[in-house]
Chain A
Amino acid sequence: MLFTESLLFFRSVSPVRFLTDREWTPLFSDKQFGILTLVSGTVLTSAIALAVATPLGLLIAVYLSEYASPTARRWVKPSLEFLAGVPTVVYGYFALFFVTPLLQRFVPGLEPFNALSAGLVMGFMILPMVASLSEDALYAVPTSLRDGAYALGFTRLQAMLKIVFPAALSGISAAIMLALSRAVGETMIVSIAAGQQPTLTLNPLVGVETLTAFIVQVSLGDTPHGTLEYHTIFVVGLTLFLMTLVLNSIALWLRERFRSVYA
């Protein structure tokens, strides 16, 4: 059943596939952008999100798996789950009406719509994913490895950094890849807070348009079936799908590798 679903999916996209070969033709040129413009917006916001989520997420994962008391776990984990469950339209509201005005006080020249606050908020959206998947990876490292390290006189931090963390690295990388794929596919935060001006830039202070935001922008208008605009959202959707597919496949492969070591 799910096999046919994915077949259906490819059937709906493949008529458009030939259009990807000529993405520089009137399809885009009369709207004055190429796919790279949208990709740069997506890469920029996702990179900011990852820069937030990776250090914070890993610290939280290490703390929860190696240090936290049961009481602390009982409080922190549900809060993280709640953070993960907040609808993305709510994060968008938060980014546009709270984070951006706050940042504008410190960052001169920050536009009302910008990649920075969208990326920052998106980082907190994917943080629970990094934290909980990395914690699973750390937990899966056999206790005997830790005991061995302690027996050699390692402190907990040393055991963590030199033994447990390297052992869990492929599992942790998988977690980061999955979170990145989530950020690339995230739609509402970037449509609301990052703006809809396609600009080929890596400057986080100005507005950008991501692949996903473009799909929303076109969908908001009443686009007639079969027109050029109608096709573009499928081309953009396919690009998006392929990007996330690559990231997810890397993540699955890494996780498989991790499991095969400690199964």
Chain B
Amino acid sequence: MSETRGFERGGADPLLRLQASSSSRWWKEWAFQALALLAILVSMVVLLALIIDVFRDGLPRLNAGFLTSFPSRRAEEAGIKSALVGSLYLMLLTGLISGPVGVGAALYLEEYAPVNRFTRLIELNIANLAGVPSVVYGLLGLEVFVRAMRLERSLLAGALTMSLLILPIIIIASREALRAVPMSIRHGAFALGATRWEVVTRSVLPLALPGILTGLILGFSRAIGETAPLITIGALTFIAFLPENPLSPFTVLPIQSFNWISRPQEAFHANAAAAIIVLLGMLVTLNALAIWLRIRFQHRMVG
């Protein structure tokens, strides 16, 4: 958002306050601001409480052994090795599938597709798909990938389901990045005799790339935390080995956490909290990467 906004409207403030101070209007104004600040405060307190709660419960369990052990019946010996590796593999596969497809679809819709009823329909579909609950994607994955394509409860089935889930996010973000590239750049390239393919690959894509990458990362960070669709395709099982190939069964961090949360023993709840800390750590890293890219992007557009 532009910074001048707050400034412009803030600029009118002293005058208004002077004008209003003679009546009760000033008090109402003050009370409303206090109420709004309270709302922000409440949200921040909840966020802090969540983080503190998880760290208090999970930090004592977080050690090297926890990261390098397989899940176990005994809470003290259990670890997240298979879940951590599973999460990384799932991300990798999901990225390989959804990245090219999502960016390709965005390129087609922005740069190639004619504007007609059909593309309008596709756009409406993407907007609607983004609002479909993730558990419904899980049902779709169960029916199409697990049953019809006979992939069973494999890493590949999970990655394909996740790809469907995050494709709308990636497409919408990539299209916005492509749209932000000024038309004059395309016109300039065309004027020099470039074909559409050359315009897209040499002029448009490099400029839109940071924006597209940000969209990809946001999509991945959604996928890394998703649990429901993977449970639906049946990925919640006891996995005490590393996946060997895309057709191996697998487990991931959110699923391992959910498994531990649903056990009655307190000790497993601490394990869940520790797994959640690792998960949050991965998410913060991904988001930091996205923010860094955004900042870089802004600099390049200005300079």
- Complex CA–CA separation, A153 to B23 (angstroms): 12
Q: Which residues of B contact A212 (CB under 8 A)?
A: 133, 135, 228
User: Can you name 19 extra interface pairs (CB under 8 A) apart from A86-B225, A248-B128?
Assistant: A2-B167, A8-B140, A13-B139, A63-B33, A73-B6, A82-B287, A86-B50, A87-B280, A94-B54, A97-B57, A124-B47, A157-B28, A178-B131, A181-B131, A185-B132, A191-B228, A192-B262, A215-B228, A220-B231
Select one of B3, B164, B231, B283 contacting A219, CB under 8 A. B231
Query: Cβ of A127 < 8 Å from any Cβ of B?
Result: yes
User: From B255, which residue of chain A is reached at the shortest CB distance?
Assistant: A89
Query: Cβ of A68 < 8 Å from any Cβ of B?
Result: yes
Range for the number of chain B residues in contact with chain A: 35 or more
Select one of A3, A81, A96 contacting B125, CB under 8 A. A3
Query: Cβ of B74 < 8 Å from any Cβ of A?
Result: no
Query: Cβ of A70 < 8 Å from any Cβ of B?
Result: yes
The size of the chain A interface, using a CB distance under 8 A, is 82
User: From B226, which residue of chain A is reached at the shortest CB distance?
Assistant: A87
Query: Cβ of A206 < 8 Å from any Cβ of B?
Result: no
Select one of B19, B133, B231 contacting A244, CB under 8 A. B133
Query: Cβ of B251 < 8 Å from any Cβ of A?
Result: no
The answer on a CB contact under 8 Å between B25 and A68 is no
User: From A241, which residue of chain B is reached at the shortest CB distance?
Assistant: B136
User: Which residue numbers of A lie inside 8 Å of B, CB to CB?
Assistant: 1-3, 5-6, 8-9, 12-13, 55-56, 59-60, 62-63, 66-70, 73, 76-83, 85-94, 96-98, 124, 127, 139, 143, 146, 150, 153, 155-158, 178, 181-182, 184-188, 191-192, 212, 215-216, 219-220, 222, 225, 233-234, 237, 240-241, 244-245, 247-249, 251-252
1/0 per residue B213-232: CB within 8 Å of A?
Answer: 00000000110111110011
- Complex CA–CA separation, A63 to B168 (angstroms): 30
Query: Cβ of B134 < 8 Å from any Cβ of A?
Result: yes
Q: Which residues of A contact B125 (CB under 8 A)?
A: 2-3, 6
Select one of A5, A70, A143, A182 contacting B129, CB under 8 A. A5
Select one of A5, A146, A215 contacting B164, CB under 8 A. A5
- Complex CA–CA separation, A67 to B50 (angstroms): 28
Supposing A2-B126, A237-B135 touch, asked if A215 and B101 sit within 8 A by C-beta, the answer is no
- Complex CA–CA separation, A86 to B287 (angstroms): 11
Q: How far is the CB of B10 from chain A (nearest CB, A)?
A: 6
Q: Which residues of A contact B221 (CB under 8 A)?
A: 85
The answer on a CB contact under 8 Å between A94 and B28 is no
